[in-house]
Every structure is written in structure tokens, then in C-alpha cells.
Amino acid sequence: MLRFLTAGESHGPELLAIVEGIPAGLALTEADLLPDLARRQVGFGVGPRMKSIEQDEAQIVAGVLAGVTIGAPIGLRIINRDHTKWKGQAVPPMSVPRPGHADLSAALKYGYRDLRFSLERASARETAARVAVGAVCRKLLAEFGMIVGSYVMEIGTASAELEDMDFNQRFEAAEKSEVRCPSKAGTEAMREEIRAAMQAKDTLGGVFEVVALNLPPGLGSHVHWDRRLGARVAAAMMSIHAMKGVEIGRGFRNARLRGTEVHDEFDSSDGRIRRQSNRAGGLEGGITTGDPLIVRVAMKPISTTLTPRASVDLASGQPAETRYERSDFCSVPRAAVVGEAMLCIVLAEVLLRKLGGDTLSEMKPRFDQLPLGRLDDFEMSNEPIIFWD
């Protein structure tokens, strides 16, 4: 129902995206895409490249007429502003693969003779295109009151304590923090952790949470492996460069507890069934419960380190040390914004699958009729039924 493709190399002229499946009638301008693109470019520990690119802008080149989507594929273009530095330049070949990158694995797979061929497409510069696509999907979700936000929980060994803040407070405070951490103490500790790693010529990873609010119950499905929403979300997060772990709700913490300590009990005292807690993180049976969808993602430390790593020069066959390419020291705050984009895309897809429709105006009344879990939404009786005759 909704799909997208991206194309483009890290230092090539531009990044491209095509999004298909957005219904007709959604108001959309290039200004809608700017805030998320800007949020992806900042954070303490970001290398010099983002500054040299300045503010990314996405051009809408197809699928929108007179400021409104027409149901046709939406074409997006993001110019790489630093491409001019590369155009026409002879670049010395790169023959020493860097551990933790696609340098070697992609060269072996595709038969490259220069590791830059690997680097150019493997680079997370591609995530700018995903963020633009995510911003389109965010606009669609907003039509139904849905909100997606993120914040950083851990960088290296520094962590944040956020139990006393609700999700909206966390989202708001994260925007004001250089490391996207909602708490002041957490921000300080994370900044210090990054500063120390930079001084030690090293890099860091961390953990962020992406949360979706105001979801209706019933998105996703239990009926097939690839329709379970947890599977879709995990795949989307794991598709982001350097993401190596995903939890829904308190996934790994719950695994260490007993059933009665984990599963969210029901309450129906006001005529609507609600869960008394949300340890499940908003999904049961691969379907949204209507509670916040909480996704926790682990990012490995940045692979490019100022400290040389042992490698081999593939041109000479001799042992060699890695050479430094300009790079972030920590990208967790930026990656959280990419995580938001991916969650927006997955949620827009399951929303479209649930509601169908070619136009926004067809979707809206269907959305308003979704059952919310009131006791009279259920048509159940006590009569025995013969299942298999």
C-alpha cells in the first residue's frame, strides 16, 4: 500500500526518493519537510560534514500539485551541497578497509576495485532521504492525531532517568538538549561522555527510544509473520545504519521477570477496556493496543575512529592501519530522528492498510468508526459454537 525507494551516493550530486501510496488530498509543501531534516543534522559529537552541507532542503518534484497530494508517486530531491568539492576531482583510491563499515563486505560482494564504491552508498547520508519520506508520512499521521517523537536514553555508559516525565514532556525537552536527552543531568553526563571519547580519539554509540502516541487499537495483525507490527517496526529500525538491537516496550527487562510481574492487567470500570500499565509497549499479538508504542533501539559506536585500527592494504596485500575519514564521534541524537522517520513510514503503511481509500476524505470517516474497546464494541455471546464439524 505504501512503499518507498531511495537512490544517491554520499558525495554524489543528490539524493532521491520516490514514495508511493500517499492518498490524494493531503496538503504538503517543502516547508513541511524542513524541520525533520534540520533535526537530523544536529547533536553534540557531530562531525564537520553536516556544517559544510548547511541546512538540507528537500524539493518536491512530483505527486503534489497546488500544494496537495494527487495520489501519484511523490518524488523528492535533496541536493548534496558539498558535491561541488568532489565534482571533477581525482580521488586517490581507498584500499584499506575500515572495521565496522561495509568497505570490505560490499567490495567482496560487488567486485569493487576501490573501497569508495562501497562507502558512497553504504553511508548514512542516505538517511536524509528517509527523513524526508518520514516527514511526508508524519503529515499523514498528524491528520489522524498521531504523534511520533524520540529521545536519547543512553550514550556510552551515561544514561537518563526519565520515569517522572510523560512522553510529551520528554519529546519537548529532548528538542532543547544537544544530545536529545530530556533530563538535564542526563544531558550533562552524555555530553561529558562524548567529550571524553573525542579526547581519547574514540567514538560512542547508545540507546534511544522512539514513541508513537494516539494510535488507534487495531493497526498491524496477528495473522501472518510479516504483518505483525512488532516485526515491521524491528525490521525498519534494523534497516538504519549501525542499529544492532530493538526492543518493544520493556522487551529484555520483561524477559527477566515472572508473568504476573509483566503482563498488563485489564480494567473496564468506565465501560471501556484499558490496560492498567504498558509494559508490553503498545502491542499485543502484533496489533496496536491503543497505548503508546514504545520502541527502544541500540546503536553501535561509530566505526570510523581517529585511533587507527588494524587492517590490510588490499592493493599491496600487506598489513596496514586504517586512515581517518571525517566522521561523527557520536550519531545517536541524529539516529533517533531517523528512527522517528522509519516509525512514521511503518505506521502510515499499516494505517493505510487498515483504512484503505484513495483520498484522505475517504479515510477520515473510516478512522472515526474504528472500535476503541468499549464493552459494547464486542458482539459476543455465551452460546457454544462447533468450530470443526
Residues near ligand FMN (CB under 6 A) are: 47, 100-102, 122-124, 127, 240-242, 300, 302-304, 327-328, 331, 334-335, 338
Distance of closest approach, residue 332 Cβ to ligand FMN, in angstroms:
9
Q: Which is nearer to ligand FMN, 78 or 287 (CB)?
A: 78
Q: Which is nearer to ligand FMN, 124 or 314 (CB)?
A: 124
Task: Find out whether 294 and 283 touch, Cβ atoms under 8 Å.
Answer: no
Across-strand partners of 287? 220, 284
For 24-52, letters b (16+ CB in 10 Å) and e give bbbebeeebbbebbebbbebbbbbebbee
Tell me the backbone φ, ψ of residue 43, rounded to 5 degrees: 145, 145
Place of cell 511503518: 346
For ligand FMN, the closer CB: 40 or 191: 40
Shortest distance, CB of residue 311 to ligand FMN, whole angstroms?
14
Grid look-up 471501556 returns 272
Residue with cell 520528554: 170
Q: How far is the CB of 328 from ligand FMN (least distance, A)?
A: 3
Least separation in angstroms between CB 291 and ligand FMN: 27
Residue with Cβ nearer ligand FMN (240 or 355): 240
Q: How far is the CB of 47 from ligand FMN (least distance, A)?
A: 5
Cell output for 273: 477496556
Q: How far apart are CA 72 and CA 275, in angstroms?
A: 40
190 or 287: CB nearest ligand FMN:
190
Please, which residue, 180 or 334, has the CB nearer to ligand FMN? 334
Between 131 and 160, CB nearer to ligand FMN: 131
Given a contact cutoff of 8 angstroms between Cβ atoms, the answer to whether 287 and 279 are in contact is no
Question: Cβ 103 to ligand FMN, closest distance in Å?
Answer: 9
Q: Residue 108 CB, nearest distance to ligand FMN (Å)?
A: 14
Nearer to ligand FMN, 87 or 326 (CB): 326
DSSP codes joined into one string, 123-190: SGGGHHHHHHHHHHHHHHHHTTT-EEEEEEEEETTEE---TTS-HHHHHHHHHTSTTS-SSHHHHHHH
C-alpha distances in angstroms, 173 versus 34, 184, 190, 342? 20, 9, 15, 22
CB atoms closer than 10 angstroms to residue 224: 9
User: In angstroms, what is the minimal distance from the CB of 104 to ligand FMN?
Assistant: 11
Q: How far is the CB of 340 from ligand FMN (least distance, A)?
A: 12
- Indicate the Cα dihedral angle 300, 301, 304, 308, nearest 10°: -120
Cell numbers of 66, please? 497546488
Nearer to ligand FMN, 104 or 283 (CB): 104
